[in-house]
Amino acid sequence: MRQVARGSSRTRILVRRATPFAAVAAVFAVQALAQAEPVVAFPLYLSIVLLASLQPDRARSFAVAAVAAVAVVIRPLAANRDASEVASSVLLAAVLLGVALAIGELTRHARAAASATERQLDELTASDRRLRAALESAEVGLGLSELDGKLIQVNERMAALLGRARDEVLGDRLVDFASPADRAGLEEGLAMLQNGDVTRWEAEISQSKGDGSTVPVAMFLARLPNTATGEPVVLVQETDITARRRADALLDCVAAVRQIIVNSSGVDSAMPALLSTLCSHLGWTAAQHWALDADGKSMRVRYAWNGSGARADGFLHASRGIALAQESGVVGRAWQAGTVTAEIDLEHAADYPLLAAARAAALLSAVALPVVAGGEVGGVIELVSDVRRTPDDDLVTMLATAGVEIGQFISRAETAQALRRSEADHRTMFERSPIGIARISSGGELLEANPALLQMLEHDVDTMRTSAWPDMLRAYDQAASRSQKAPFLAGITDGSSLQVRAATGAGNWLWLQLTVTSIPDSSGVPEHVLVMIEDVTAVRETSDRLSEALEAQRDANANLEKIDRTKSEFLSIVSHEFRTALTGIQGFSELIRDGGLEADEVRAYGGYIFNDADRVNRLISDMLDLDRMESGRMSMRTSEVDINDVLMEAISRAVPGAVTVEFKSDLDPRLPIVAGDRDRLIQVVSNIVNNAVKYSPEGGTVTLSSRADGRYVLISVTDTGIGIPQDEIGHVFERFRRVRSGAAQSIPGTGLGLTIVKQIVEMHGGRIWVESAVGHGSSFHFTIPLAPESTNALQLRHA
């Protein structure tokens, strides 16, 4: 049946499509049979084309028009009619085609317009559906109200935000749902919308839900014109901002914590404020900070904050009394795990050490955040609440962050405190040290000197810096170079110690021991130098005195040895001299005693005895003289002496020797006067002169001269005698030198003469020396200082 039906339908379509062509063919057939002019049949053709063009199928209507046009022109063309006929028939054909085209175009436009309208309507319908669905499913609460806030329409979300069924809220005023505190504000907003003062109003308010709880919402109101009634309405939009509020609170809390940390002066002032901030921002009842004991095995409460009434006091007090072990309760678990740990049901937490106190204070929940610094848990902050609370992830994250920040803060503060204490210790040492301490820059400038140093050196800081320290640095470098150490700035070795001499401000000289230690900066480069300065004057002087004493002792020992040696040598020489003299005395006196001598023999022998006895006597006198001089017991009878007079006197007293010598004098007539013992000076010159005579050959010359020589008078006695060998010349003034050397032993003398001469010259403050060449003679020179008046006179004369 259905196939038949379809077949018949197809047939109908074919028939309907073929109809215009059939009509054109029929008209053409009639026209051909009637041999009528195309003009006659034209209205028929035109009718067919018009009808065909009204159909939607434009191609077919053009086909019909084309067939009709062919039908119009075919006869004149086939019958070879004249051009005018052909032209008119072509015109007619064109009219047919034009009509078909025009009608087709018109029809197409009409159809397009109709279908567009239809499509718009469909889209509007769909859009309306989508909009409604969107409104209904929106996370945002949406609704319409009248200008006074009476709700006309609400979506599901809006109803849910209000905590009521949709029907319950319609007709109620928006203000009725606002929490009492926000009502006035909302009324005002609505009034402004109503007056047309504003077209939009927004605020965050609290709304009461049907169950009595409140929810914070962001409310947006917009005044809309209502076309249906002509009355404007208000679009109401509400968003639940509970989560944002909570996040804001957490952020605020973190910010507040940071603020306290930044502004605090120390842990003691900051911790209560931190605990208070955590409680108030996060809505907890009380908080306490458990700090790790020094042994790291238990924690005790160090700080607490009670944000509620007296009930929590008992709990906090109980907490103070205990030492908490690891793993004990929520705090112990937070300590062990190093993570934020919560106790949702404090009443039934069996491991909670303060269970009774918590129950008594009606505390229900607790959260513990570890206070972490350097990866170590140094304490735990415990927050307790009298409402049951389950911390969400945000809170946990926030508390963990706060724990780290507080931990770093405590660590910083403790380090700073330790540094301050250490600094204070060192400062005290610096200020109170009995040892002088100076801090020197790497450039060698004095940065700081402690009171002990300033006192030791009797300087103020300024003179210490500008003069005393640079002087000391120079002294250090000199001492360093002497002991082959590096200069102060070149290479400071730690603990390098040197002693230097330095003057104090008051001009006292001290021995200072400088101990130098360089202080490196963090990169190891010497940043500055500490110099410890000790006054070792007493030590140094004691040791100096000691070594002087030791030296003196050594010298004394050497002297004693020398004296001992000299003494036995002296004894040997003296006894030899005496025995030699006594040999004659004893021998001849024995001869005389035994008798039997001639008178002239006795006389001669008596002469020998007398001479030797005299020699012994002189020897004893000279020895005693010398001893008195050497021991300083010889007194001088000082007076003003004219040396020229002394020289002349000595010449007159010269002992005539075996040979004849000629005396010459070369005296300065303007010779200044000297201060001296005249007799002693005559003794000196006589001695030298007698010596000269003794060693002179027959016809030799002895010349005496005098002249002023600066502050002295220089006297010289020059002979033309045998001279003194070079190896003897340094010893001529030694006692018994003559005897010892065996030189000129035939020439009488005690061997003490020149020794006595030297002593007398030196007692006058003068000097004696000898020049000699063997075979040419000797020159003895000595000086005697001028009398003080003579010095003046001489100066005047020179002036």
Partner 1 sequence: MPETDGAGTTSPPSVLVADDNEVAQRLCKRVLEKAGYPVLIAGDGLQAVDIALHQRPAMILMDVAMPGIDGLEAMRRIKAEIPAMPIVIASAHSMSSDRERFLAAGADNVLSKPFRLADLISMVQSLVDAK
Q: 3-class SS at 373?
A: strand
Q: Which two tokens mark 298? A: 């238990």
Shorter beta-carbon distance to partner 1: residue 570 or 608 = 608
Q: How far apart are CB 584 and partner 1 at their closest, in Å?
A: 4
Residues 756, 737: contact at Cβ < 8 Å?
no
**Piece in contact with partner 1 (CB under 8 A), picked from 22-30, 511-519, 568-576, 638-646:** 568-576
576 binds partner 1 (CB under 8 A): yes
Beta bridge partner(s), residue 46:
none
Q: Give the separation between CA 754 and CA 737, rounded to whole angstroms.
A: 9
Classify residue 150 by its DSSP letter: B
Give the total of residues touching partner 1 (CB under 8 A): 26
237 binds partner 1 (CB under 8 A): no
The residue from 481, 559, 566, 586 that contacts partner 1 (CB under 8 A) is 586
Shorter beta-carbon distance to partner 1: residue 62 or 608 = 608
Half-sphere exposure of 429 (CA within 13 A, CB side): 9
Q: Give the separation between CA 131 and CA 138, rounded to whole angstroms.
A: 10
Q: How far apart are CB 753 and partner 1 at their closest, in Å?
A: 18
The residue from 235, 591, 613, 636 that contacts partner 1 (CB under 8 A) is 591
Shorter beta-carbon distance to partner 1: residue 574 or 689 = 574
Q: How far apart are CB 769 and partner 1 at their closest, in Å?
A: 26
Q: How far apart are CB 557 and partner 1 at their closest, in Å?
A: 25
Q: 3-class SS at 732?
A: coil
**Piece in contact with partner 1 (CB under 8 A), picked from 64-72, 291-299, 426-434, 578-586:** 578-586
Q: How far apart are CB 589 and partner 1 at their closest, in Å?
A: 10
Q: How far apart are CB 614 and partner 1 at their closest, in Å?
A: 12
Q: How far apart are CB 736 and partner 1 at their closest, in Å?
A: 11
- What separation in angstroms does the CA of 792 have from each of 638, 643, 668? 19, 18, 18
Q: Give the separation between CA 243 and CA 697, rounded to whole angstroms.
A: 142
582 binds partner 1 (CB under 8 A): yes
Q: Largest Cα–Cα distance of the chain, in whole Å?
A: 242
Identity at 135, one-letter amino acid code:
L
Which residues inside 382-421 make contact with partner 1, applying CB under 8 A?
A: none
**Piece in contact with partner 1 (CB under 8 A), picked from 266-274, 277-285, 466-474, 581-589:** 581-589
575 binds partner 1 (CB under 8 A): yes
588 binds partner 1 (CB under 8 A): yes
572 binds partner 1 (CB under 8 A): yes
Print the binding letters for residues 750-779 with partner 1: x by CB under 8 A, - otherwise: ------------------------------
Which residue, among 387, 390, 225, 407, has the nearest Cα to 308 in the 3D structure?
387
Residues 512, 502: contact at Cβ < 8 Å?
yes
The residue from 119, 420, 579, 776 that contacts partner 1 (CB under 8 A) is 579
623 binds partner 1 (CB under 8 A): no
Shorter beta-carbon distance to partner 1: residue 496 or 589 = 589
- CA 118 to chain centroid: 84
Where does 345-452 show beta strands of DSSP type E?
Answer: 365-373, 376-385, 436-441, 446-449
The residue from 220, 430, 570, 608 that contacts partner 1 (CB under 8 A) is 608
Q: Could you give the dihedral angle defined by the CA atoms of residues 140, 141, 145 and 150, in that order, rounded to the nearest 10 degrees?
A: -150
**Any residues with CB less than 8 A from the CB of 551 and at least 6 apart, and which?**
none
**Piece in contact with partner 1 (CB under 8 A), picked from 65-73, 332-340, 587-595, 694-702:** 587-595
**Piece in contact with partner 1 (CB under 8 A), picked from 26-34, 356-364, 393-401, 576-584:** 576-584
- CA 322 to chain centroid: 43
Long-range contacts of 371-374 (CB under 8 A, 24+ apart): 371/289, 371/403, 371/406, 371/407, 371/410, 372/338, 372/403, 372/404, 372/407, 373/404, 373/407, 373/408, 373/410, 373/411, 374/411
Q: How far apart are CB 592 and partner 1 at their closest, in Å?
A: 11
The helix or strand, by DSSP H or E, that contains position 497, with its residue range, turns out to be strand 496-503
The residue from 499, 611, 638, 791 that contacts partner 1 (CB under 8 A) is 611
Shorter beta-carbon distance to partner 1: residue 8 or 745 = 745
Which residues inside 729-748 make contact with partner 1, applying CB under 8 A?
A: 739, 742-746
**Piece in contact with partner 1 (CB under 8 A), picked from 217-225, 401-409, 574-582, 632-640:** 574-582
Q: Summarize as ranges the residues that interact with partner 1 (CB under 8 A).
A: 572, 575-580, 582-588, 590-591, 594, 608, 611-612, 739, 742-746
